[in-house]
């Protein structure tokens, strides 16, 4: 069937981080059918008066179960060593609900849970927000070195993959839990050395240690450079808080290479971030493209 518009990314990937968000994680309910039909219902955007938008990602086991083929989609490998643990917590569906009004997020969540029942069950909700225009809860600006414009598209979007894949994206998602009391016990200069930037003016430290976070993850230090489109947001519940790290990439190895540097895979130098924060979840998803305003799910349909 001819399409009026070429496929493009889910808009929220390239847009600014919203004031409020909810991350919803669903699992497949065992012994139930109807997954493909439920996804079809999800392909429709939310009603215009819902006050929310969303980015949707599919996990590798779900894509496999449906007989689809998304080259490069896989699960995050867990890792651990002295001073760090990187868990892998794969899931069937990831939905980044974006809005400005918490009530709208609550109502859209209820609508989605109903639409996806009984094929998918809601496993987790993480409440996220923008802090002072784009700061991590430590007070450091997050996203400074993000690519923008055509560089953002090049970093985040699949191209040359063919219909159904072009305009899609892969996403790496990790909920990091901060120990803010511990962070606040470090002196200001030590805090700056952990991040590798000065909190007061966001300038990169000329003498940042090898283990400073921005030394570990400097995108241009790879040969060739490895860019991520980061769209992370602070999160909190009644007792805990941290950062939901979210990076959209055209290939998952872009994220893996940064993570390998953070855990010192080659040189044994562990990112100083692990001195006060740790990932408590971690998963990869594939974010289908959009065509004519709907998710384009054709790669899930076996070729006849």
Q: Which residues of 248-283 are buried (b: 16+ CB within 10 A; e: fewer)?
A: bbbebebbbbbbebbbbeeeebbbbbbbbbbbebbb
> Chain-centre distance of CA 215, in angstroms?
21
Q: Which residues have CB under 8 Å from 105's CB, separation 6+?
A: 20, 21, 22, 52, 97, 99
- Please say which residue, 126 or 195, places its beta carbon nearer to ligand HEM: 195
Quote the least distance from Cβ 223 to ligand HEM, whole Å.
Answer: 14
Q: Which of residues 250-269 bind ligand HEM (CB under 6 A)?
A: 255, 258-259, 262
Query: Minimum distance between the CB of residue 283 and ligand HEM, rounded to whole angstroms?
Result: 13
Relative orientation angle of helices 102-116 and 35-43, to the nearest 10 degrees: 150
Helix, strand or coil, per DSSP, at residue 66: coil
Q: How far is CA 145 from CA 197, 211, 218, 219, 229, in A?
A: 12, 18, 9, 8, 9
Q: How many CB atoms lie within 10 A of CB 236?
A: 15
* Minimum separation from the CB atom of position 257 to ligand HEM (A): 8
By CB under 6 A, tell whether 276 contacts ligand HEM: no
Q: Which helix (H) or strand (E) holds 125?
A: strand 120-129
Nearer to ligand HEM, 58 or 155 (CB): 155
Q: What is d(CA 189, CA 194) in angstroms, rounded to the nearest whole number?
A: 9
Q: Which is nearer to ligand HEM, 60 or 281 (CB)?
A: 281
Asked if 143 touches ligand HEM (CB under 6 A), the answer is yes
Q: Which of residues 162-221 bind ligand HEM (CB under 6 A)?
A: 174, 176, 195, 197, 213-214, 217-219
Applying CB under 6 A, does 145 fall inside the site for ligand HEM? yes
For ligand HEM, the binding residue among 120, 140, 183, 286 (CB under 6 A) is: 140
As measured in angstroms, the least distance from the Cβ of 243 to ligand HEM is: 4
User: Is position 85 an interface residue for ligand HEM (rule: CB under 6 A)?
Assistant: no
Region from 8-16, 26-34, 66-74, 136-144 binding ligand HEM, contact rule CB under 6 A? 136-144
How far is the C-alpha of 277 from the C-alpha of 180, rounded, in Å? 8
- Compute how many residues bind ligand HEM; rule: CB under 6 A: 25
In whole angstroms, give the CA distance from residue 243 to residue 193: 19
The only residue of 63, 155, 165, 228 in contact with ligand HEM, by rule CB under 6 A: 228
User: Least distance to ligand HEM from the beta carbon of 128, Å?
Assistant: 13
DSSP 174: E
The contact set with ligand HEM (CB under 6 A) reads: 136, 140-145, 174, 176, 195, 197, 213-214, 217-219, 228, 243, 245, 255, 258-259, 262, 273, 277
């Amino acid at each position: 069937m001819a399409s009026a518009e070429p496929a493009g990314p889910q808009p929220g990937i390239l847009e600014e981080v919203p004031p409020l968000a909810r991350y919803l994680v669903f699992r497949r309910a065992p012994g139930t059918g109807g997954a493909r039909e439920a996804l079809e219902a999800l392909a429709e955007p939310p009603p215009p008066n819902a006050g929310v938008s969303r980015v949707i990602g599919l996990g590798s086991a779900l894509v496999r179960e449906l007989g689809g083929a998304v080259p490069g989609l896989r699960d995050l490998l867990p890792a651990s060593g002295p001073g760090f643990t990187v868990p892998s917590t794969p899931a069937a569906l990831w939905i980044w609900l974006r809005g400005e009004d918490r009530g709208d997020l609550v109502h859209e969540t209820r609508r989605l849970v109903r639409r996806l029942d009984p094929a998918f069950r809601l496993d987790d909700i993480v409440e996220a927000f923008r802090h002072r225009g784009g700061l991590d809860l430590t007070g450091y600006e997050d996203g400074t070195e993000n690519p923008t414009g055509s560089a953002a598209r090049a970093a985040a979007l699949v191209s040359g993959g063919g219909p159904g894949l072009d305009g899609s994206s892969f996403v790496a998602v990790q909920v990091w839990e901060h120990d803010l009391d511990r962070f606040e016990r470090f002196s200001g200069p030590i805090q700056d050395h952990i991040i590798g930037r000065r909190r007061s003016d966001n300038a990169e430290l000329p003498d940042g240690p090898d283990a400073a976070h921005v030394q570990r993850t400097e995108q241009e230090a790879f040969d060739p450079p490895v860019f991520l489109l980061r769209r992370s947001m602070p999160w909190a519940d009644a007792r805990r808080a941290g950062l939901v790290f979210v990076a959209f990439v055209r290939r998952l190895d872009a994220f893996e290479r940064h993570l390998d540097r953070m855990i010192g895979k080659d040189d044994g130098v562990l990112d100083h971030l692990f001195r006060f924060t740790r990932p408590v979840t971690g998963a990869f998803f594939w974010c289908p493209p959009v065509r004519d305003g709907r998710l384009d799910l054709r790669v899930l349909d076996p070729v006849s």
